[in-house]
Amino acid sequence: MNIVLLGAPGAGKGTQAAKLVEEQGLCHISTGDILRAAVKDQTPLGVKAKGFMDAGELVPDDLIIDLMKERMEQPDTDKGVILDGFPRTTTQAVALDSMLSELGRPLDAALLIDVDSEVIVTRLTSRRMCRECGNIGSAADGETCLKCGGEMYQRDDDNEETVRNRLDVYDKSTAPLIDYYHGKDLLVKIDGDRDPQVVFTDVVSALGL
């Protein structure tokens, strides 16, 4: 099964993806995680991407498409992928269609996790992430990762100004993909403004898992 996750930043895509991986053994590909690792390691990609990410802007399509072509060719994608943070523009969606058709693997669904933008601003500005394992938590959980004991930190792009810019970018560049996938009869919409476990129950039934 190959799935695209759609939804604003902070809608809960990463959380739902982690649950799908745990229960369905799908291969989770998060372009945000790949880019953050590249920035941390100061690879050529990371050096090019950092400024865009800190400003809440999209990294240019050609960089992302090259990155994803390489990633999709790795053998662990055989068992099916859950794409989190890609595609984010129509150009990327068209590129994904041709990658998948070359690999002979059709897309099964585009899952939209729908959350109101004011809810998102509150969620993201209080969001914390583990430096060691990437676990997502909230400022209210304290400074230590509940999973691995690592340090919880605030992402550079989770301040209010950058969050508002990311939401604008989402509305302009990524929201049109909702129509794109609706037109292909692949869109599945889930109300994301509920407890993550309740959202997941809906995801599982919507995907017929």
Task: Catalog residues that contact Zn ion under the rule CB under 5 A.
Answer: 130, 132-133, 135, 145, 147-148, 150
Residue 32's binding partner among Zn ion, ligand ADP, none (Cβ under 5 to 8 angstroms by kind) is ligand ADP
Q: How far apart are CA 203 and CA 209, in angstroms?
A: 9
Among this protein's residues, is 166 annotated catalytic?
A: yes
Q: How far is the CB of 56 from ligand ADP (least distance, A)?
A: 6
Among this protein's residues, is 13 annotated catalytic?
A: yes
Cis peptide before 87 (omega within 30 of 0): yes
Among this protein's residues, is 155 annotated catalytic?
A: yes
Please identify which of the residues 19, 48, 155, 164 carries the catalytic annotation.
Answer: 155
Q: How far is the CB of 208 from ligand ADP (least distance, A)?
A: 26
Q: What is the 3-state secondary structure (H, E, C) of the chain?
A: CCEEEECCCCCCHHHHHHHHHHHHCCEEEEHHHHHHHHHHCCCHHHHHHHHHHHHCCCCCHHHHHHHHHHHHCCHHHHHCEEEECCCCCHHHHHHHHHHHHHHCCCCCEEEEEECCHHHHHHHHHCEEEECCCCCEEEHHHCCECCCCCCEEECCCCCCHHHHHHHHHHHHHHHCHHHHHHHHCCCEEEEECCCCHHHHHHHHHHHCCC
Among this protein's residues, is 127 annotated catalytic?
A: yes
Nearer to ligand ADP, 105 or 155 (CB): 155
Q: How far is the CB of 46 from ligand ADP (least distance, A)?
A: 11
Residue 114's binding partner among ligand ADP, Zn ion, none (Cβ under 5 to 8 angstroms by kind) is none
Interface ranges with ligand ADP (CB under 6 A): 9-10, 31-32, 35, 52-53, 56-59, 64, 85-86, 88, 92, 157, 166
Q: How far is the CB of 165 from ligand ADP (least distance, A)?
A: 9
Please identify which of the residues 36, 50, 71, 88 carries the catalytic annotation.
Answer: 88
Residue 193's binding partner among Zn ion, ligand ADP, none (Cβ under 5 to 8 angstroms by kind) is none
Residues 21, 82 contacting (CB under 8 angstroms): yes
Residue 85's binding partner among Zn ion, ligand ADP, none (Cβ under 5 to 8 angstroms by kind) is ligand ADP
Active-site positions read 13, 88, 127, 155, 166
